[in-house]
Amino acid sequence: MNAPICEVCLKSDILCSGCKAKLDEGKISEADVKVSRYLYSLSEKIQSLKNAKIVKVVELADTMVILVGKGSAPIVIGKGANVLKSLSKNFGKNIKIIEEGSDIVKVAESILSVKPIAVNILYRKDGETY
């Protein structure tokens, strides 16, 4: 399983110095750690989760958004949405799975409960900004 934390940290209850530094610097969040460890523990029962890539986890008031690598969404959702239901039950929140590289409008539609009318894009010399 490819996660924001190393495999040693996935298996243990403490973080190594490298992952702890990432957490302190804000590169990863506590939600990244919790969800990654939970999915790693599920991967012992559900073998397909070993092929999943977790990129980032964003925790909102009543929703948790999990950004996964391209092609990992069906794996993280699981057959019959069993992994998704397990995540929701464990964390007590609604879970949204978004694939990395998705169109910004599709991402906004999946996160927001209403359909966005438009998404403004500011074109700069150094790249696009939403």
Tens of pLDDT along 28-38?
999 999 999 99
Q: Which region holds residue 104: left if phi is over 0, alpha if psi is between -120 and 50, else beta?
A: alpha
Residue 40 lies in a domain: yes
Domain count, the chain: 1
| Distance in angstroms (rounded) separating the CA atoms of residues 34 and 57 | 9
Q: Residue 113 pLDDT > 80, yes or no?
A: no
Instruction: List 73's β-bridge partners, or say none.
Output: none
- Cβ-Cβ contacts under 8 Å for 49 (sequence gap 6 or more): 1, 39, 40, 42, 43, 75, 76, 83
The CATH number that applies at residue 100 is: 3.30.300.20
Asked if the structure places residue 15 within a domain, the reply is: yes
Whether 29 maps to a domain, the answer reads yes
Could you tell me if residue 2 is inside a domain? no
Considering the domain boundaries, does residue 1 fall inside one? no
Given this model, what pLDDT does residue 104 score?
Answer: 67
Q: Looking at residue 126, what is its pLDDT?
A: 80
CB within 8 A of 109, min separation 6: which ones? 115, 116
Mean pLDDT for 90-118 is 76
Amino acid letter at 52? A
Domain with 35, as residue range(s), is 7-129
Domain-located, residue 21 = yes
Tens of pLDDT along 89-100? Answer: 999 999 988 888
Residue 24 maps to a domain: yes
- For every residue of 78-128, DSSP letters joined together read -GGGHHHHHHHHHHTSEEEEEETT--HHHHHHHHSSS--S----EEETTEE
